[in-house]
Amino acid sequence: MSGERAKVWVNGTLLDPDEAVVSVFDHGVLVGDGVFETVKAVDGEPFALTRHLKRLGRSAAGLGLAEPDVEELAEGCRAALAAAPDWPSARIRITHTSGPGPLGSQRGTEGTTTTIIVAEQDPFPETADVVVVPWARNEHGALAGLKTTSYAENALALAHASERGGGEAIFANLAGNLCEGTGTNIFVVLDGELITPPLEAGCLAGVTRGLVLEWCGGVEGDLPLSELYRAEEAFLTSTTRNVQPIRKVDGTSLPAAPGPVTRKAMEMFEARSTELTDP
C-alpha cells in the first residue's frame, strides 16, 4: 500500500489522521465491545453500502449497543471517500463501539464511539491456499453471526495459517461441520453442486456470500469438515476478495482452481457488481 493516508471520520467530524483519536478508556479498545463493517470502494464509489450498514445495525443490536444512524454513516463514508486520495480500489472500515467505560466489562454511560477510516486496497492473489485450524467456532455462542471487534481468535488463526503457508484460516464449528474463514465465507462444489454452510452453522452472513447465492445460485447445507478435502472446487467470498478460488487445502491441491462452477460465479459476480453498485 502507498504511504498516503485519508482523513478519518470520528463521531461526525473529519480529522487529519494524527488528530483522529479515541479514548484509552473506550471499550472497543479495552474489551473489544464493538461491531464493524468493511466496505469496498471502486473508483470512489462504495459497493453494497446499504447492505453493510443494515448488517452493522443488526450486529449492534445483537450486542445491545445503541443503534447507529445509518444515514449519517452513509454520508460519513462518502465524505471520507471524497477526502481520500484517488485510489482505484479502497476499503472503508466503519467501527461502532460502546464508548468509554470503566476498567472492566460493565459499560459506561458516555455514549458510543463511531469511526470511519478509508485506506487503499491492494488486490488479493488470484487463488488462495487455506489451512484448517484446530479451534472450532461456537455456533451457539453469544457472538455467533455478529461482526464484532473481538477478533483475537481470528488473528491467532490467521497467524497459524500463515506459518503453514496459507493465506486464510478455515474453521469447523462445534458440531464438526464446515463453518467459515477468519474474514471470509466458503463455498464448495461436491458432485457438481455448489454448497455453502448455513448461517445456523455459526458463520457470518457475508454480504458477498448473500449476493453469490442470489446471483449465482447454490444451496445452503451442513457439511462435515471432511467434505472440504474431497471438494471438486471451492472458493472464498468476502468484500475485498469478491470470489477467490481455493487452490490448496492444508497443502493438498484441489482438482481445479478455478473450476467451471467457480469461474461462472466469478464472471457473474463481476458483471452484476459492475452493473449494480448498491444491490
List, for residues 152-208, the tens digit of each pLDDT value. 999 999 999 999 999 999 999 999 999 999 999 999 999 999 999 999 999 999 999
Residues 92 and 170 reside in one and the same domain: no
Residues 84 and 218 reside in one and the same domain: no
Average pLDDT over residues 138-165: 97
| Residue % of the chain over a pLDDT of 70 | 99
- Would the pLDDT of 1 be above 50? no
Residues 58 and 185 reside in one and the same domain: no
Model confidence pLDDT, tens digit, residues 42-70: 999 999 999 999 999 999 999 999 999 99
Model confidence pLDDT, tens digit, residues 75-130: 999 999 999 999 999 999 999 999 999 999 999 999 999 999 999 999 999 999 99
Model confidence pLDDT, tens digit, residues 100-109: 999 999 999 9
Residue 207: all three cell numbers together: 454480504
Residues 254 and 205 reside in one and the same domain: yes
Residues 48 and 142 reside in one and the same domain: no
Q: Where are the beta strands (DSSP E) in the chain?
A: 8-10, 13-15, 34-42, 45-46, 89-97, 113-120, 128-132, 168-172, 178-181, 185-190, 193-196, 219-220, 233-238, 242-249, 252-253
Last residue of one domain, picked from the residues 120, 153, 186: 120
The residue with cell 467470498 is: 237
Nearby residues of 207 by Cβ (< 8 Å), 6 or more positions away: 48, 51, 52, 55, 239
The number of angstroms, rounded, from the C-alpha of 69 to the middle of its chain's C-alpha atoms is: 21
Residues 247 and 228 reside in one and the same domain: yes
Number of compact structural domains in the chain: 2
Domain span at residue 116 reads 8-120
User: CATH number of the domain that 78 lies in?
Assistant: 3.30.470.10
The verdict on residue 60 lying in a domain is: yes
Whether a cis peptide bond, with omega within 30° of 0, leads into 279 is: no
What is the DSSP-derived secondary structure letter of residue 143? T
Residues 152 and 224 reside in one and the same domain: yes
Q: How confident is the model at residue 259 (pLDDT cuts 50, 70, 90)?
A: very high
The verdict on residue 211 lying in a domain is: yes
What pLDDT score does 5 carry? 83
Residues 113 and 132 reside in one and the same domain: no
Q: Angle formed by the axes of helices 207-216 and 49-63, to 10°? A: 130
What pLDDT score does 3 carry? 62
User: CATH number of the domain that 156 lies in?
Assistant: 3.20.10.10
